[in-house]
Chains A and B, each alone.
Chain A
Amino acid sequence: MSDTHQQSIGFVRDSMLPQVAPPLGETGIFKWMKANMFSSIANGALTLAALAAIYYLLSGVLPWLLNGVWQADSIRECREILDGKVGGCFAVLAERWNQLLFGFKYPSELYWRPTLAFVLLFVAIAPVLFRKVFPAQMLWFSALYPFVAYFLIWGGSVLIPLFALLGFVLGYVFYSTFVARSFALGSFGGILVAMAVWYITGFLPIEGVLATEAVASRDMGGFMLNLILGTVCVSLSIPFGIALALGRQSDMLIIKWICVVFIEFIRGVPLITLLFVASVMLAYFFPPDANIDLILRVIIMITMFASAYIAEVIRGGLAALPTGQYEAGDSLGLDYAQKMRLIVLPQALKISIPGIVNVAVGLFKDTTLVSVISMFDLVGTIRGPVQASSEWNGVYWELLGSAALLFFVVCYGISQYSQWLERQLQTDHR
């Protein structure tokens, strides 16, 4: 009896089991498909329907893309080459590429200047966007870049950007001297000093002094114009937006109400209206002999528009900060400017990143609206000189599709950067 009992309980393994692969339906691609595509009958049906839709779409688009004609002089030649087959007429991009990039009036022998400015743009924004990667000294170049870029793209006397720079420098000197006494005195005094410098130097006869060949604003166009308006307006509207948001919170009633009225008014007006004002009506508000550059007027209007939106986004960020942060800053004896710069804004701006990027991306795409005031940006160039020409009349998908692609690349880049930045700045809960 004891024998049988021992046999049923006692056990000694004499050979170890080898590792065996799991059943076919439980690994790799099969498991993934089972889990994600065919987990139920309804899901399976939807998967098949989606696959059919993708197939239908690609079977239309792919031949059009792959069969495309890149070498032709007109849409008629494209059609002859295609001979009834499906295919895009991408030759228009090859033939009109420079027009799409620089506009149809920019002197072709000077294309290197905006191209160089474009390359330098990356050198200038790299240390701003990636603080930890690049040495801080590179920020000096970033600060000088706007003046370099202006000189490269517009040409003319080198004194124009230098005087503009002088205004900023003297304004900053005034600000840093007086900010310790009062933040408001420092900032408003600095602005007045800068404007005085610009006003006075405006009378100096500098035409042709140390000059390169000048290109007028009305000759700017193509994607270059979108990039100029986009980068300038985004980089200006963030500081203006911050100033408006802080002004709206100010204890000084007049400043507060100026900011409130500005923000509410600008937000209540369509951008196109502002652009028409810039192109047609703004002249009535200036002295008759004042000739403010068209692009400058458009930049002012788009910046005003975007900064009103950014101000509201940042106000949301400011409101999200606990009052304890302000009190801690106060209790350590920091003054207003220090408290804002070191404690409040770094946190409020971090909270506001998604909203600011939202406005920036929208603004960049809105720069195509300048085509309605007869400026030939990328869309304006396509709708105007390119499609109106007898060679390319009738080409739509290829041109507008590539315009969409250009904008998508830039906007998607901005969006990806902002998400990376948000992860970088996440210090509060990890």
Chain B
Amino acid sequence: MAETAQMQVSDEVAVSIENMNKWYGTFHVLRDIDLTVHRGERIVIAGPSGSGKSTLIRCINALEEHQKGRITVDGTVLSSDLKNIDRIRSEVGMVFQHFNLFPHLTILENCTLAPIWVRKTPKKEAEEVAMHFLKKVKIPEQADKYPGQLSGGQQQRVAIARSLCMRPRIMLFDEPTSALDPEMIKEVLDTMVELAEEGMTMLCVTHEMGFAQAVANRVIFMDAGQIVEQNEPKEFFNNPQHERTKLFLSQILGH
């Protein structure tokens, strides 16, 4: 699995972050972040809470503003130009911890909204694409229901389908399974594994270490707003170098 995963990675750069810094007021959340993500790479970002993992991936689609450094997504440098930001956001899909589906729209409307309004896709075509991705996440029969009628796992799969409907080139996952019951985590992870096997460029903030071992071709460990260690999953889990990484792994893998 690790080998095949390696082979799908191309030399093309999908995201490059150079010397990026961010502050909340005077609090220095992200410090000198340097990260290059190649197309087809699956990166898992781990670390204790408050280490800046979520903030890091939220900077990539400009949900958070960075104050210093340079982020290039798909060849476009993130600037404060709104058009520029909207273009990048339409290429980068994001899945949130709390799903953030639109409760006033049906599942199908959730999935077709952005293609119709941002991509100007005809409604009929957008609905066909939406049904295709709803089938892919295995809930086409729920298309006419409202998000409130679905279970957490189903909602998260709809959220993944909603992002995929925009045909993104990069997917960001912000703790997608943290708000789910243990039984539902698997159905969401299965969907993500399938996505990874198709060669999607993915950055996942997650505590699912099994997922990291199975799918990731790089694990990044963050603490106190900086990247402390990064390595291939096998090396990362079996032979961690930094003291903080060893402590973290011993605590989460201890039982």
> What separation, in Å, do the CA atoms of A336 and B86 have in the docked complex?
10
In the docked arrangement, what's the CA distance between A429 and B104, Å? 10
Whether A332 lies near B89 (C-beta < 8 A) is yes
Q: Is A330 engaged at the interface, CB distance under 8 Å to the other chain?
A: yes
Residues of the A chain whose Cβ atoms lie less than 8 Å from the Cβ of B211: none
CB of B76 closer than 8 Å to a CB of A? no
Among B16-24, B94-102, B221-229, B240-248, which stretch is in contact with chain A?
B94-102
Could you say which of B43-51, B111-119, B123-131, B212-220 contacts chain A?
Answer: B111-119
Contact B82 A346 (CB under 8 A): no
Q: Name the distance in Å between A422's Cβ and chain B's nearest Cβ.
A: 13
Q: A347-B103, A350-B104, A428-B103 are in contact. Are A331 and B148 (CB under 8 A)?
A: no
Nearest CB of A to B243, in Å: 35
Q: Do the beta carbons of B96 and A328 come within 8 Å of each other?
A: yes
A427 at the interface (CB under 8 A from B): yes
In the complex, which residues of chain A have a beta carbon less than 8 angstroms from the beta carbon of B166? 332-333
B42 interface residue (CB < 8 Å to A)? no
A343 within 8 A of B: yes
The CA of A334 and the CA of B92, in the complex, are separated in Å by 12
Contacts of A331 in B (CB 8 A): 61, 63, 89, 92-94, 96, 163
A343 vs B162: C-alpha distance in the bound complex, in angstroms? Answer: 14
Is B89 touching A333 in the complex (CB atoms < 8 A)? Answer: yes
Cβ B162 vs Cβ A332 within 8 A? yes
User: For the complex, what is the distance from the CA of A379 to the CA of B31, rounded to whole Å?
Assistant: 70
Distance (whole angstroms) from the CB of B68 to the closest CB of chain A: 21
Name B94's closest neighbour in chain A (CB-CB).
A331
User: How far is it, in angstroms, between the C-alpha of A422 and the C-alpha of B208 when the chains are bound?
Assistant: 41
- Which residues of the other chain, A, contact B28 by a CB distance below 8 angstroms? none
A425/B118 in contact, CB under 8 A:
no
Complex contact B146–A428 (CB within 8 A): yes
**CA of A328 to CA of B90 in the docked complex: distance in angstroms?**
12
Interchain CA distance A332-B162 in the complex, whole Å: 9
From 327 to 368 in chain A, residues with beta carbon under 8 angstroms from any chain B beta carbon are 327-328, 330-336, 338, 342-343, 346-347, 350
B residues sitting closer than 8 Å to A (CB atoms) are 61-63, 82, 86-87, 89-94, 96, 98, 100-104, 113-114, 117-118, 146-149, 162-163, 166
Known: A182-B82, A333-B86. 4 other contacts (CB 8 A): A330-B89, A331-B94, A332-B113, A428-B147
A contact set with B: CB distance below 8 Å: 182, 322, 324-325, 327-328, 330-336, 338, 342-343, 346-347, 350, 425, 427-430
